[in-house]
Amino acid sequence: METQIKFVVVGHHSRYMQARSLAESLGAVMLIDSGDHGANWNHRRALEWAAGQTCRVVILEDDALPVVSFHRGIYSWLRDFPDSLISFYLGTGRPPQYQMQIAERLIVADKTRADYITLPRLIHGVCYSVPPQQIERVLTRWDNSKPADYAVGDAYGGDVIYPCSSLVDHADGEPVEHHPDQQLRTERRRAWRLA
């Protein structure tokens, strides 16, 4: 029998219908940022909700596009890595400083027939799951000034597992987040590979 997993979709009010559609397709709880508080605030809310659950929780952003085998893949990865932070999306374009490292690690993974790579931090918030026993520590060490993905991963403080074939793609529409660096996000933001 498969362990229970719950899903939560974090969404921006401008993408309400998109978030609702995704949440309904997954039977997920939906947390909408209706006051432009930002992704950091909403991801923290999702983790606070996850902390109150008795099972593993997967957090998705409103622009995540699950693959057909999404549920089967999620159960498999969470079963195999119950104590790890897992990102189910490995994307191109953003953040640019990690792209060469990702390419190199994917080449090594192909040569060694590994089905995942690790990186020292969470670089995408599109779809991920923090181990339940680590959520309180992540919330305690949370930095409100960081982008949501870095806030999660840096508070977690360990290697992050990235399946070589992502279980979600990224819709890559206009960003709704106002980034402190004021840089436009013009790079193509899609998965390196899809399951």
- From residue 145, alpha-carbon distances to 33, 49, 159 in Å are 17, 21, 21
Contact in structure between 46 and 59 (CB atoms under 8 Å): yes
pLDDT of residue 184: 55
Contact in structure between 62 and 9 (CB atoms under 8 Å): yes
Query: How distant is the alpha carbon of residue 93 from its chain centre?
Result: 16
pLDDT of residue 70: 94
pLDDT of residue 179: 47
Dump pLDDT digits (tens) for 106-143.
999 999 999 999 999 999 899 999 999 999 999 999 99
pTM: 0.89
Q: CATH class for domain 5-170?
A: alpha beta
Contact in structure between 78 and 33 (CB atoms under 8 Å): no
pLDDT of residue 191: 75
Give me the tens of pLDDT residue by residue for the chain, a chain 195 residues long: 456 899 999 999 989 999 999 999 999 999 999 888 889 999 999 999 999 999 999 999 999 999 999 999 999 999 999 999 999 999 887 778 888 898 999 999 999 999 999 999 999 899 999 999 999 999 999 999 999 999 999 999 999 999 999 999 988 655 555 545 555 545 566 777 787
